[in-house]
Chains A and B, each alone.
Chain A
Amino acid sequence: MIGTNLVYPVAGLTFTAFALFALRDRRFGSAAFHALIALSFFAGDLIGDIGNGVLVLALVALGGSGAMRKSPPRDDRPAPRGNGLFVPALVIPATALLGTLLFKQLPGLVDPKQATLVALTLGVILALAICLAWLRPSPVTPFAEGRRLMDDIGWAAILPQMLASLGAVFLLAGMGNAVGGIIGHLIPGDSLFGAVLVYCLGMALFTMVMGNAFAAFPVMAAAIGLPLLIGAHHGSPAPIAAIGMLAGFCGTLMTPMAANYNLVPAALLELKDRNGVIKAQIPTALPLLAFNVLLLWAVLR
Protein backbone atom coordinates (compact mmCIF):
# COMPACT_ATOMS: atom_id res chain seq x y z
CA MET A 1 0.00 0.00 0.00
CA ILE A 2 1.30 3.46 -0.89
CA GLY A 3 1.67 5.78 2.07
CA THR A 4 4.59 7.18 4.02
CA ASN A 5 6.80 4.66 2.17
CA LEU A 6 6.53 7.00 -0.85
CA VAL A 7 6.17 10.36 0.89
CA TYR A 8 9.05 10.18 3.39
CA PRO A 9 11.76 9.03 0.92
CA VAL A 10 10.75 11.88 -1.45
CA ALA A 11 11.02 14.34 1.43
CA GLY A 12 14.34 12.76 2.42
CA LEU A 13 15.74 13.17 -1.10
CA THR A 14 14.60 16.80 -1.23
CA PHE A 15 16.32 17.66 2.04
CA THR A 16 19.44 15.72 0.92
CA ALA A 17 19.60 18.01 -2.13
CA PHE A 18 19.23 21.11 0.10
CA ALA A 19 22.07 19.76 2.28
CA LEU A 20 24.38 19.14 -0.70
CA PHE A 21 23.87 22.67 -2.04
CA ALA A 22 24.63 24.14 1.39
CA LEU A 23 27.77 21.98 1.54
CA ARG A 24 28.87 23.30 -1.86
CA ASP A 25 28.52 26.89 -0.56
CA ARG A 26 30.58 25.88 2.50
CA ARG A 27 27.64 26.67 4.81
CA PHE A 28 28.31 23.69 7.05
CA GLY A 29 25.68 24.49 9.73
CA SER A 30 22.83 24.54 7.21
CA ALA A 31 24.22 21.46 5.46
CA ALA A 32 24.23 19.46 8.69
CA PHE A 33 20.74 20.72 9.66
CA HIS A 34 19.17 19.65 6.37
CA ALA A 35 21.13 16.37 6.31
CA LEU A 36 19.72 15.50 9.74
CA ILE A 37 16.15 16.20 8.56
CA ALA A 38 16.85 13.95 5.55
CA LEU A 39 18.14 11.25 7.91
CA SER A 40 14.96 11.57 9.98
CA PHE A 41 12.82 11.02 6.87
CA PHE A 42 14.89 8.07 5.59
CA ALA A 43 15.71 6.25 8.80
CA GLY A 44 13.52 7.69 11.58
CA ASP A 45 11.81 4.34 12.14
CA LEU A 46 15.13 2.46 12.36
CA ILE A 47 17.16 4.48 14.86
CA GLY A 48 14.92 4.02 17.91
CA ASP A 49 13.34 6.55 20.28
CA ILE A 50 16.63 7.52 21.94
CA GLY A 51 18.28 7.82 18.53
CA ASN A 52 15.53 10.18 17.42
CA GLY A 53 15.93 12.11 20.66
CA VAL A 54 19.66 12.58 20.00
CA LEU A 55 18.86 13.62 16.41
CA VAL A 56 16.49 16.30 17.76
CA LEU A 57 19.14 17.56 20.20
CA ALA A 58 21.58 17.93 17.30
CA LEU A 59 18.96 19.84 15.26
CA VAL A 60 18.27 22.12 18.24
CA ALA A 61 21.99 22.75 18.72
CA LEU A 62 22.43 23.67 15.05
CA GLY A 63 19.22 25.71 14.71
CA GLY A 64 19.43 27.38 18.09
CA SER A 65 23.07 28.44 17.99
CA GLY A 66 22.94 30.55 14.86
CA ALA A 67 25.14 28.06 12.97
CA MET A 68 22.78 28.27 9.98
CA ARG A 69 23.49 30.98 7.46
CA LYS A 70 21.42 32.12 4.51
CA SER A 71 22.53 31.49 0.98
CA PRO A 72 23.84 34.53 -0.92
CA PRO A 73 21.04 36.51 -2.62
CA ARG A 74 20.64 36.17 -6.39
CA ASP A 75 19.25 38.55 -8.92
CA ASP A 76 15.74 37.85 -10.17
CA ARG A 77 15.62 37.31 -13.90
CA PRO A 78 12.97 38.82 -16.15
CA ALA A 79 10.09 36.55 -17.20
CA PRO A 80 11.03 34.59 -20.30
CA ARG A 81 7.87 32.45 -20.33
CA GLY A 82 4.19 33.20 -20.66
CA ASN A 83 1.04 32.25 -18.82
CA GLY A 84 1.89 28.57 -19.36
CA LEU A 85 3.81 28.88 -16.08
CA PHE A 86 0.50 28.73 -14.26
CA VAL A 87 -0.04 25.16 -15.47
CA PRO A 88 2.62 23.42 -13.36
CA ALA A 89 1.84 25.77 -10.47
CA LEU A 90 -1.80 24.67 -10.56
CA VAL A 91 -0.98 21.00 -11.20
CA ILE A 92 0.04 20.66 -7.53
CA PRO A 93 -3.30 21.78 -6.00
CA ALA A 94 -5.29 20.04 -8.78
CA THR A 95 -3.54 16.70 -8.20
CA ALA A 96 -3.92 17.12 -4.44
CA LEU A 97 -7.65 17.69 -4.98
CA LEU A 98 -8.25 14.86 -7.46
CA GLY A 99 -5.99 12.44 -5.62
CA THR A 100 -7.70 13.01 -2.28
CA LEU A 101 -11.09 12.33 -3.86
CA LEU A 102 -9.90 9.41 -5.99
CA PHE A 103 -7.91 7.57 -3.30
CA LYS A 104 -11.02 7.36 -1.14
CA GLN A 105 -12.49 5.13 -3.87
CA LEU A 106 -9.36 2.93 -3.95
CA PRO A 107 -8.80 2.03 -0.32
CA GLY A 108 -6.51 -0.93 -1.13
CA LEU A 109 -4.02 1.12 -3.15
CA VAL A 110 -3.31 4.11 -0.93
CA ASP A 111 -3.25 4.26 2.86
CA PRO A 112 -6.43 6.29 3.58
CA LYS A 113 -4.76 8.08 6.51
CA GLN A 114 -2.04 9.38 4.18
CA ALA A 115 -4.24 10.10 1.14
CA THR A 116 -3.66 13.88 1.10
CA LEU A 117 0.09 13.58 1.63
CA VAL A 118 0.40 10.97 -1.13
CA ALA A 119 -1.69 13.16 -3.47
CA LEU A 120 0.46 16.21 -2.65
CA THR A 121 3.65 14.22 -3.31
CA LEU A 122 2.34 12.92 -6.65
CA GLY A 123 1.32 16.48 -7.59
CA VAL A 124 4.84 17.72 -6.87
CA ILE A 125 6.44 14.91 -8.89
CA LEU A 126 4.07 15.54 -11.82
CA ALA A 127 4.65 19.31 -11.75
CA LEU A 128 8.40 18.77 -11.60
CA ALA A 129 8.24 16.37 -14.57
CA ILE A 130 6.25 18.94 -16.60
CA CYS A 131 8.76 21.67 -15.73
CA LEU A 132 11.75 19.54 -16.67
CA ALA A 133 10.20 18.46 -19.98
CA TRP A 134 9.02 21.95 -20.95
CA LEU A 135 11.51 24.43 -19.52
CA ARG A 136 14.53 22.12 -19.85
CA PRO A 137 16.53 23.50 -16.93
CA SER A 138 19.50 21.59 -15.57
CA PRO A 139 18.06 18.83 -13.35
CA VAL A 140 19.73 20.37 -10.30
CA THR A 141 18.21 23.83 -10.87
CA PRO A 142 14.87 23.11 -9.11
CA PHE A 143 16.72 22.09 -5.97
CA ALA A 144 19.07 25.06 -6.15
CA GLU A 145 16.01 27.35 -6.35
CA GLY A 146 14.11 25.43 -3.67
CA ARG A 147 17.13 25.63 -1.37
CA ARG A 148 16.96 29.43 -1.61
CA LEU A 149 13.37 29.36 -0.26
CA MET A 150 14.27 26.75 2.37
CA ASP A 151 17.07 28.94 3.68
CA ASP A 152 14.57 31.76 4.21
CA ILE A 153 12.56 29.42 6.45
CA GLY A 154 15.62 28.13 8.31
CA TRP A 155 15.21 26.58 11.76
CA ALA A 156 11.47 27.47 11.88
CA ALA A 157 10.87 24.44 9.63
CA ILE A 158 11.08 22.00 12.55
CA LEU A 159 9.35 24.09 15.25
CA PRO A 160 5.91 22.47 14.65
CA GLN A 161 7.44 19.00 15.12
CA MET A 162 9.23 20.25 18.26
CA LEU A 163 5.96 21.52 19.73
CA ALA A 164 4.19 18.24 19.00
CA SER A 165 6.98 16.51 20.90
CA LEU A 166 6.73 18.98 23.79
CA GLY A 167 3.01 18.16 23.91
CA ALA A 168 3.90 14.47 24.34
CA VAL A 169 6.19 15.30 27.28
CA PHE A 170 3.47 17.53 28.82
CA LEU A 171 1.03 14.63 28.58
CA LEU A 172 3.52 12.27 30.22
CA ALA A 173 4.11 14.76 33.03
CA GLY A 174 0.41 15.34 33.75
CA MET A 175 0.45 19.02 32.76
CA GLY A 176 -3.31 18.99 32.05
CA ASN A 177 -4.31 18.25 35.61
CA ALA A 178 -1.87 20.83 36.98
CA VAL A 179 -3.25 23.59 34.73
CA GLY A 180 -6.82 22.50 35.43
CA GLY A 181 -6.20 22.69 39.18
CA ILE A 182 -5.15 26.35 38.94
CA ILE A 183 -7.71 27.53 36.39
CA GLY A 184 -10.60 26.00 38.33
CA HIS A 185 -9.97 28.58 41.07
CA LEU A 186 -10.27 31.52 38.67
CA ILE A 187 -13.99 31.22 37.99
CA PRO A 188 -16.21 33.35 40.22
CA GLY A 189 -18.85 31.22 41.99
CA ASP A 190 -21.32 29.48 39.71
CA SER A 191 -21.36 32.14 36.97
CA LEU A 192 -22.01 30.56 33.56
CA PHE A 193 -20.57 33.56 31.73
CA GLY A 194 -17.45 33.42 33.92
CA ALA A 195 -16.97 29.74 33.14
CA VAL A 196 -17.46 30.29 29.39
CA LEU A 197 -15.08 33.27 29.42
CA VAL A 198 -12.30 31.44 31.28
CA TYR A 199 -12.79 28.34 29.09
CA CYS A 200 -12.49 30.26 25.80
CA LEU A 201 -9.68 32.56 26.98
CA GLY A 202 -7.90 29.54 28.45
CA MET A 203 -8.14 27.76 25.09
CA ALA A 204 -6.70 30.82 23.30
CA LEU A 205 -3.92 31.46 25.84
CA PHE A 206 -2.85 27.83 26.19
CA THR A 207 -2.86 27.55 22.39
CA MET A 208 -0.58 30.59 22.21
CA VAL A 209 1.88 28.93 24.59
CA MET A 210 1.78 25.55 22.84
CA GLY A 211 1.44 26.90 19.30
CA ASN A 212 -1.39 24.44 18.69
CA ALA A 213 -5.04 24.20 19.74
CA PHE A 214 -4.81 20.39 19.69
CA ALA A 215 -2.61 20.45 22.78
CA ALA A 216 -4.86 22.94 24.57
CA PHE A 217 -8.17 21.14 24.04
CA PRO A 218 -7.66 18.05 26.25
CA VAL A 219 -6.36 20.33 29.04
CA MET A 220 -9.24 22.82 28.95
CA ALA A 221 -11.84 20.08 28.44
CA ALA A 222 -10.60 18.35 31.60
CA ALA A 223 -10.28 21.60 33.55
CA ILE A 224 -13.54 23.43 32.73
CA GLY A 225 -15.43 21.92 29.81
CA LEU A 226 -16.45 18.66 31.47
CA PRO A 227 -16.71 19.49 35.18
CA LEU A 228 -18.30 22.95 34.88
CA LEU A 229 -19.91 23.55 31.49
CA ILE A 230 -21.19 20.01 30.90
CA GLY A 231 -21.39 18.91 34.54
CA ALA A 232 -22.55 21.84 36.70
CA HIS A 233 -24.31 23.85 33.95
CA HIS A 234 -25.69 20.83 32.00
CA GLY A 235 -24.45 22.24 28.69
CA SER A 236 -24.61 20.33 25.42
CA PRO A 237 -21.15 18.78 24.72
CA ALA A 238 -21.03 19.38 20.93
CA PRO A 239 -21.04 23.22 20.91
CA ILE A 240 -18.81 23.33 24.00
CA ALA A 241 -16.15 21.24 22.26
CA ALA A 242 -16.48 22.78 18.79
CA ILE A 243 -16.61 26.45 19.83
CA GLY A 244 -13.85 25.92 22.40
CA MET A 245 -11.60 24.55 19.67
CA LEU A 246 -12.35 27.58 17.46
CA ALA A 247 -11.49 29.92 20.36
CA GLY A 248 -8.17 28.07 20.41
CA PHE A 249 -7.71 28.75 16.68
CA CYS A 250 -8.03 32.48 17.47
CA GLY A 251 -5.00 31.96 19.74
CA THR A 252 -3.10 30.26 16.91
CA LEU A 253 -3.41 33.48 14.91
CA MET A 254 -1.63 35.44 17.66
CA THR A 255 1.47 33.40 18.53
CA PRO A 256 4.93 32.99 16.98
CA MET A 257 4.91 29.44 18.39
CA ALA A 258 2.55 28.48 15.51
CA ALA A 259 5.61 28.71 13.29
CA ASN A 260 4.26 27.05 10.16
CA TYR A 261 1.33 29.50 10.00
CA ASN A 262 2.93 32.68 11.29
CA LEU A 263 6.75 32.63 11.07
CA VAL A 264 7.25 30.55 7.91
CA PRO A 265 5.08 32.81 5.69
CA ALA A 266 6.84 35.90 7.10
CA ALA A 267 10.12 34.32 5.98
CA LEU A 268 8.73 33.10 2.64
CA LEU A 269 7.32 36.56 1.84
CA GLU A 270 10.60 38.18 2.91
CA LEU A 271 8.96 40.42 5.50
CA LYS A 272 11.36 42.60 7.49
CA ASP A 273 9.16 42.15 10.58
CA ARG A 274 9.18 38.51 11.68
CA ASN A 275 5.87 39.11 13.49
CA GLY A 276 4.28 40.95 10.55
CA VAL A 277 1.75 38.19 9.82
CA ILE A 278 0.70 37.99 13.48
CA LYS A 279 0.18 41.76 13.59
CA ALA A 280 -2.02 41.52 10.49
CA GLN A 281 -4.10 38.80 12.19
CA ILE A 282 -4.69 40.24 15.68
CA PRO A 283 -7.45 42.70 14.59
CA THR A 284 -9.42 39.72 13.20
CA ALA A 285 -8.52 37.25 15.98
CA LEU A 286 -9.67 39.39 18.94
CA PRO A 287 -13.22 40.23 17.73
CA LEU A 288 -13.61 36.62 16.59
CA LEU A 289 -12.57 35.38 20.03
CA ALA A 290 -15.18 37.69 21.57
CA PHE A 291 -17.75 36.33 19.11
CA ASN A 292 -16.96 32.75 20.19
CA VAL A 293 -17.36 33.64 23.87
CA LEU A 294 -20.74 35.29 23.25
CA LEU A 295 -21.89 32.49 20.93
CA LEU A 296 -21.10 29.74 23.42
CA TRP A 297 -22.70 31.75 26.24
CA ALA A 298 -25.85 32.33 24.15
CA VAL A 299 -26.06 28.62 23.25
CA LEU A 300 -25.68 27.44 26.85
CA ARG A 301 -27.91 30.01 28.51
Chain B
Amino acid sequence: MTKRTRRNLAHVPLLAASLLFIAPFLWMLSTSLKHESGIFAKPGEPPQWIPVTERTDDQGRRLITYQARAGVDLGPDESGRHALSIDGKTVVAWPEDFEIQQRIGLHWANYVRAFEMIDFVANLRNTLFICVSVVLASVLSCSLVAYSFSRIPWKGRDAIFIIVLATMMLPYQVTLIPLFAAYSRLGWVGTFKPLILPALFGTPFYIFLIRQFFKGVPEDLSAAARIDGCSEFGIYWRIVMPLSKPVLATTALFVFLFEWGDFLNPLIYLQDERQYTLAIALQQFQSQHENAWGPLMAMSSVITAPIIALFFFTQKTFIQGITLTGLKG
Protein backbone atom coordinates (compact mmCIF):
# COMPACT_ATOMS: atom_id res chain seq x y z
CA MET B 1 0.00 0.00 0.00
CA THR B 2 1.48 3.34 -0.98
CA LYS B 3 1.53 6.29 1.35
CA ARG B 4 -0.98 8.04 -0.84
CA THR B 5 -3.60 5.31 -0.79
CA ARG B 6 -3.18 5.03 2.95
CA ARG B 7 -3.84 8.74 3.23
CA ASN B 8 -6.96 8.45 1.14
CA LEU B 9 -8.12 5.50 3.21
CA ALA B 10 -7.99 7.75 6.28
CA HIS B 11 -10.97 9.58 4.80
CA VAL B 12 -13.22 6.51 5.05
CA PRO B 13 -13.72 6.49 8.84
CA LEU B 14 -13.72 10.29 8.89
CA LEU B 15 -16.47 10.47 6.29
CA ALA B 16 -18.49 7.77 8.03
CA ALA B 17 -18.26 9.55 11.38
CA SER B 18 -19.06 12.91 9.78
CA LEU B 19 -22.18 11.42 8.23
CA LEU B 20 -23.34 10.17 11.64
CA PHE B 21 -22.76 13.56 13.23
CA ILE B 22 -24.34 15.63 10.51
CA ALA B 23 -27.34 13.40 9.79
CA PRO B 24 -29.50 14.86 12.61
CA PHE B 25 -28.91 18.37 11.24
CA LEU B 26 -29.84 17.35 7.70
CA TRP B 27 -32.90 15.55 9.05
CA MET B 28 -33.93 18.74 10.88
CA LEU B 29 -33.48 20.85 7.75
CA SER B 30 -35.21 18.33 5.52
CA THR B 31 -38.20 17.99 7.89
CA SER B 32 -38.48 21.76 8.21
CA LEU B 33 -38.97 22.00 4.44
CA LYS B 34 -41.33 19.04 4.04
CA HIS B 35 -45.06 18.96 3.64
CA GLU B 36 -46.86 17.12 6.43
CA SER B 37 -47.67 14.16 4.22
CA GLY B 38 -43.93 13.57 3.70
CA ILE B 39 -43.04 13.96 7.37
CA PHE B 40 -44.77 10.90 8.77
CA ALA B 41 -43.40 7.54 7.71
CA LYS B 42 -45.38 5.32 5.40
CA PRO B 43 -45.05 1.66 6.40
CA GLY B 44 -42.33 -0.15 4.45
CA GLU B 45 -40.84 2.95 2.88
CA PRO B 46 -37.31 4.29 3.57
CA PRO B 47 -36.79 7.63 5.34
CA GLN B 48 -37.67 10.43 2.99
CA TRP B 49 -34.81 12.94 2.84
CA ILE B 50 -35.91 15.00 -0.13
CA PRO B 51 -38.51 17.62 0.78
CA VAL B 52 -41.91 17.53 -0.88
CA THR B 53 -44.47 20.29 -1.11
CA GLU B 54 -48.01 20.72 -2.38
CA ARG B 55 -48.86 21.04 -6.04
CA THR B 56 -50.86 24.15 -6.79
CA ASP B 57 -52.60 25.58 -9.85
CA ASP B 58 -51.83 28.98 -11.33
CA GLN B 59 -54.13 30.65 -8.80
CA GLY B 60 -52.21 29.12 -5.88
CA ARG B 61 -54.97 26.60 -5.05
CA ARG B 62 -53.97 23.12 -3.88
CA LEU B 63 -54.38 20.23 -6.28
CA ILE B 64 -55.98 17.17 -4.71
CA THR B 65 -57.08 13.65 -5.55
CA TYR B 66 -60.54 12.54 -4.42
CA GLN B 67 -61.85 9.05 -5.19
CA ALA B 68 -59.17 8.61 -7.87
CA ARG B 69 -60.13 11.86 -9.61
CA ALA B 70 -58.02 15.02 -9.71
CA GLY B 71 -59.44 18.34 -8.54
CA VAL B 72 -58.80 21.63 -6.79
CA ASP B 73 -59.24 22.44 -3.10
CA LEU B 74 -61.42 25.52 -2.66
CA GLY B 75 -60.81 25.70 1.09
CA PRO B 76 -62.56 24.66 4.31
CA ASP B 77 -65.91 25.76 5.74
CA GLU B 78 -66.64 26.36 9.43
CA SER B 79 -67.15 22.66 10.13
CA GLY B 80 -63.67 21.83 8.79
CA ARG B 81 -64.91 20.17 5.60
CA HIS B 82 -63.33 21.28 2.35
CA ALA B 83 -65.11 22.25 -0.83
CA LEU B 84 -63.47 20.48 -3.76
CA SER B 85 -63.90 21.35 -7.38
CA ILE B 86 -63.76 18.20 -9.53
CA ASP B 87 -64.54 18.28 -13.24
CA GLY B 88 -66.43 21.53 -12.81
CA LYS B 89 -68.60 20.14 -9.99
CA THR B 90 -68.22 21.06 -6.32
CA VAL B 91 -68.03 18.29 -3.71
CA VAL B 92 -67.69 18.64 0.07
CA ALA B 93 -65.32 16.25 1.87
CA TRP B 94 -63.41 15.84 5.14
CA PRO B 95 -59.63 16.42 4.92
CA GLU B 96 -58.87 12.75 5.66
CA ASP B 97 -60.95 11.61 2.69
CA PHE B 98 -58.93 13.30 -0.06
CA GLU B 99 -55.22 13.35 -0.83
CA ILE B 100 -53.10 16.40 -1.50
CA GLN B 101 -51.00 16.12 -4.65
CA GLN B 102 -47.26 16.49 -4.10
CA ARG B 103 -44.15 17.43 -5.97
CA ILE B 104 -40.49 17.59 -4.99
CA GLY B 105 -39.84 21.07 -3.66
CA LEU B 106 -39.28 23.19 -0.58
CA HIS B 107 -42.29 23.61 1.67
CA TRP B 108 -41.67 27.02 3.24
CA ALA B 109 -45.11 27.03 4.83
CA ASN B 110 -43.61 25.41 7.97
CA TYR B 111 -41.52 28.52 8.56
CA VAL B 112 -44.52 30.77 7.99
CA ARG B 113 -46.55 28.71 10.46
CA ALA B 114 -43.77 28.74 13.05
CA PHE B 115 -43.51 32.52 12.85
CA GLU B 116 -47.26 32.85 13.20
CA MET B 117 -47.49 30.50 16.17
CA ILE B 118 -44.94 32.33 18.32
CA ASP B 119 -44.21 36.01 18.71
CA PHE B 120 -41.00 35.65 16.74
CA VAL B 121 -40.01 39.31 16.42
CA ALA B 122 -40.47 39.96 20.13
CA ASN B 123 -38.65 36.74 21.09
CA LEU B 124 -35.73 37.58 18.83
CA ARG B 125 -35.57 41.14 20.16
CA ASN B 126 -35.57 39.88 23.77
CA THR B 127 -32.85 37.34 23.04
CA LEU B 128 -30.63 39.89 21.31
CA PHE B 129 -31.22 42.49 24.02
CA ILE B 130 -30.19 40.04 26.75
CA CYS B 131 -27.26 38.65 24.75
CA VAL B 132 -25.79 42.05 23.88
CA SER B 133 -26.27 43.52 27.37
CA VAL B 134 -24.70 40.51 29.07
CA VAL B 135 -21.80 40.42 26.60
CA LEU B 136 -20.98 44.11 27.15
CA ALA B 137 -21.39 43.91 30.91
CA SER B 138 -19.32 40.72 31.17
CA VAL B 139 -16.43 41.90 29.01
CA LEU B 140 -16.22 45.14 30.96
CA SER B 141 -16.56 43.76 34.48
CA CYS B 142 -14.46 40.62 33.96
CA SER B 143 -11.61 42.57 32.35
CA LEU B 144 -11.58 45.15 35.17
CA VAL B 145 -11.41 42.45 37.81
CA ALA B 146 -8.87 40.45 35.82
CA TYR B 147 -6.75 43.60 35.56
CA SER B 148 -6.72 43.94 39.31
CA PHE B 149 -5.79 40.28 39.77
CA SER B 150 -2.98 40.33 37.22
CA ARG B 151 -1.46 43.82 36.99
CA ILE B 152 -1.93 45.62 40.30
CA PRO B 153 -0.08 44.14 43.27
CA TRP B 154 -2.12 44.39 46.46
CA LYS B 155 -2.16 42.64 49.79
CA GLY B 156 -4.23 39.45 49.88
CA ARG B 157 -4.72 39.48 46.12
CA ASP B 158 -3.63 35.94 45.42
CA ALA B 159 -5.59 34.52 48.33
CA ILE B 160 -8.74 36.21 47.03
CA PHE B 161 -8.03 34.94 43.54
CA ILE B 162 -8.07 31.39 44.90
CA ILE B 163 -11.55 32.18 46.25
CA VAL B 164 -12.60 33.36 42.77
CA LEU B 165 -11.57 29.98 41.42
CA ALA B 166 -13.16 28.10 44.31
CA THR B 167 -16.58 29.64 43.61
CA MET B 168 -16.60 27.74 40.32
CA MET B 169 -16.70 24.47 42.24
CA LEU B 170 -20.11 25.11 43.75
CA PRO B 171 -23.03 23.73 41.70
CA TYR B 172 -25.42 26.49 40.60
CA GLN B 173 -28.31 24.67 42.29
CA VAL B 174 -27.03 25.78 45.71
CA THR B 175 -27.29 29.51 45.03
CA LEU B 176 -30.31 29.26 42.71
CA ILE B 177 -33.01 29.21 45.38
CA PRO B 178 -31.80 32.05 47.66
CA LEU B 179 -31.21 34.20 44.57
CA PHE B 180 -34.71 33.48 43.29
CA ALA B 181 -36.13 34.31 46.72
CA ALA B 182 -34.14 37.57 46.83
CA TYR B 183 -35.18 38.64 43.32
CA SER B 184 -38.74 37.79 44.12
CA ARG B 185 -38.64 40.03 47.23
CA LEU B 186 -37.19 42.82 45.07
CA GLY B 187 -40.05 42.33 42.60
CA TRP B 188 -37.62 41.44 39.81
CA VAL B 189 -39.13 38.11 38.84
CA GLY B 190 -40.79 38.65 35.48
CA THR B 191 -38.18 41.22 34.38
CA PHE B 192 -34.86 40.94 32.56
CA LYS B 193 -32.94 42.23 35.60
CA PRO B 194 -32.05 38.84 37.12
CA LEU B 195 -30.75 37.76 33.72
CA ILE B 196 -28.58 40.82 33.05
CA LEU B 197 -27.50 42.57 36.25
CA PRO B 198 -25.32 39.77 37.70
CA ALA B 199 -23.07 40.09 34.63
CA LEU B 200 -21.98 43.53 35.89
CA PHE B 201 -20.15 41.84 38.75
CA GLY B 202 -17.90 39.49 36.86
CA THR B 203 -18.03 35.75 36.19
CA PRO B 204 -15.18 33.70 37.74
CA PHE B 205 -14.54 31.62 34.63
CA TYR B 206 -14.05 34.63 32.34
CA ILE B 207 -12.08 36.56 34.97
CA PHE B 208 -9.72 33.59 35.02
CA LEU B 209 -9.53 33.41 31.23
CA ILE B 210 -8.79 37.14 30.77
CA ARG B 211 -6.33 37.18 33.65
CA GLN B 212 -4.28 34.46 31.96
CA PHE B 213 -3.99 36.68 28.90
CA PHE B 214 -3.33 39.95 30.78
CA LYS B 215 -0.40 38.34 32.53
CA GLY B 216 1.30 38.01 29.16
CA VAL B 217 1.14 41.74 28.31
CA PRO B 218 4.66 43.18 28.91
CA GLU B 219 4.94 45.10 32.20
CA ASP B 220 7.32 47.64 30.53
CA LEU B 221 4.38 49.14 28.64
CA SER B 222 2.58 49.93 31.89
CA ALA B 223 5.76 51.31 33.47
CA ALA B 224 6.41 53.63 30.51
CA ALA B 225 2.84 54.90 30.57
CA ARG B 226 3.02 55.50 34.31
CA ILE B 227 6.13 57.67 33.81
CA ASP B 228 4.19 59.66 31.22
CA GLY B 229 1.59 60.34 33.91
CA CYS B 230 -1.07 57.91 32.70
CA SER B 231 -3.59 56.85 35.35
CA GLU B 232 -4.16 53.19 36.21
CA PHE B 233 -7.52 53.29 34.44
CA GLY B 234 -5.82 54.89 31.43
CA ILE B 235 -3.30 52.03 31.28
CA TYR B 236 -6.12 49.49 31.49
CA TRP B 237 -8.29 51.16 28.91
CA ARG B 238 -5.75 52.48 26.40
CA ILE B 239 -2.90 49.97 26.59
CA VAL B 240 -3.87 46.59 28.03
CA MET B 241 -7.38 46.34 26.60
CA PRO B 242 -6.43 47.10 22.96
CA LEU B 243 -3.62 44.53 23.20
CA SER B 244 -6.00 41.88 24.53
CA LYS B 245 -8.54 41.82 21.72
CA PRO B 246 -8.19 38.05 21.10
CA VAL B 247 -9.16 37.04 24.62
CA LEU B 248 -11.89 39.69 24.80
CA ALA B 249 -13.30 38.35 21.54
CA THR B 250 -13.24 34.80 22.91
CA THR B 251 -15.03 35.94 26.05
CA ALA B 252 -17.65 37.88 24.09
CA LEU B 253 -18.23 34.89 21.82
CA PHE B 254 -18.59 32.37 24.64
CA VAL B 255 -20.91 34.65 26.61
CA PHE B 256 -23.04 35.32 23.54
CA LEU B 257 -23.38 31.62 22.76
CA PHE B 258 -24.26 30.78 26.33
CA GLU B 259 -26.89 33.49 26.57
CA TRP B 260 -28.39 32.68 23.16
CA GLY B 261 -29.06 29.11 24.24
CA ASP B 262 -29.53 29.63 27.98
CA PHE B 263 -32.59 27.83 29.25
CA LEU B 264 -32.77 27.56 33.03
CA ASN B 265 -32.55 31.25 33.95
CA PRO B 266 -35.10 32.53 31.44
CA LEU B 267 -37.32 29.56 32.37
CA ILE B 268 -37.33 30.63 35.99
CA TYR B 269 -37.43 34.40 35.64
CA LEU B 270 -39.52 35.14 32.53
CA GLN B 271 -43.23 34.67 32.91
CA ASP B 272 -44.94 36.63 30.16
CA GLU B 273 -44.94 35.25 26.62
CA ARG B 274 -43.86 38.61 25.24
CA GLN B 275 -40.70 38.44 27.36
CA TYR B 276 -39.66 34.98 26.21
CA THR B 277 -36.30 34.37 24.60
CA LEU B 278 -36.17 32.20 21.49
CA ALA B 279 -35.03 29.16 23.49
CA ILE B 280 -38.00 29.41 25.86
CA ALA B 281 -40.39 30.16 23.01
CA LEU B 282 -39.24 26.99 21.22
CA GLN B 283 -39.68 24.87 24.34
CA GLN B 284 -43.15 26.30 24.99
CA PHE B 285 -44.11 25.81 21.36
CA GLN B 286 -42.89 22.21 21.55
CA SER B 287 -44.87 21.46 24.69
CA GLN B 288 -48.07 22.84 23.15
CA HIS B 289 -47.73 21.34 19.67
CA GLU B 290 -45.97 18.04 20.20
CA ASN B 291 -46.55 16.67 16.72
CA ALA B 292 -46.12 19.79 14.60
CA TRP B 293 -42.74 18.50 13.47
CA GLY B 294 -42.53 20.68 10.36
CA PRO B 295 -42.88 24.01 12.19
CA LEU B 296 -40.87 22.67 15.15
CA MET B 297 -37.93 21.80 12.94
CA ALA B 298 -38.31 25.14 11.14
CA MET B 299 -38.11 26.92 14.48
CA SER B 300 -35.10 24.82 15.58
CA SER B 301 -33.34 25.59 12.30
CA VAL B 302 -33.97 29.30 12.77
CA ILE B 303 -32.44 29.24 16.25
CA THR B 304 -29.49 27.10 15.18
CA ALA B 305 -28.56 28.80 11.89
CA PRO B 306 -27.16 32.07 13.36
CA ILE B 307 -24.99 30.07 15.76
CA ILE B 308 -23.58 27.94 12.96
CA ALA B 309 -22.97 31.04 10.84
CA LEU B 310 -21.25 32.75 13.77
CA PHE B 311 -19.09 29.68 14.27
CA PHE B 312 -17.92 29.70 10.66
CA PHE B 313 -16.77 33.31 10.92
CA THR B 314 -15.07 32.93 14.29
CA GLN B 315 -13.72 29.41 14.16
CA LYS B 316 -10.18 30.34 15.10
CA THR B 317 -11.17 32.44 18.11
CA PHE B 318 -13.36 29.56 19.17
CA ILE B 319 -10.91 26.71 19.01
CA GLN B 320 -8.20 28.83 20.63
CA GLY B 321 -10.52 29.71 23.48
CA ILE B 322 -11.52 26.09 24.15
CA THR B 323 -7.92 24.97 24.07
CA LEU B 324 -6.90 27.79 26.41
CA THR B 325 -9.49 26.81 29.00
CA GLY B 326 -8.59 23.15 28.81
CA LEU B 327 -4.84 23.17 28.81
CA LYS B 328 -3.69 26.29 30.55
CA GLY B 329 -5.99 25.46 33.48
The answer to whether A and B interact is no
Which B residues are within 8 Å of any A CB, using their own CB? none
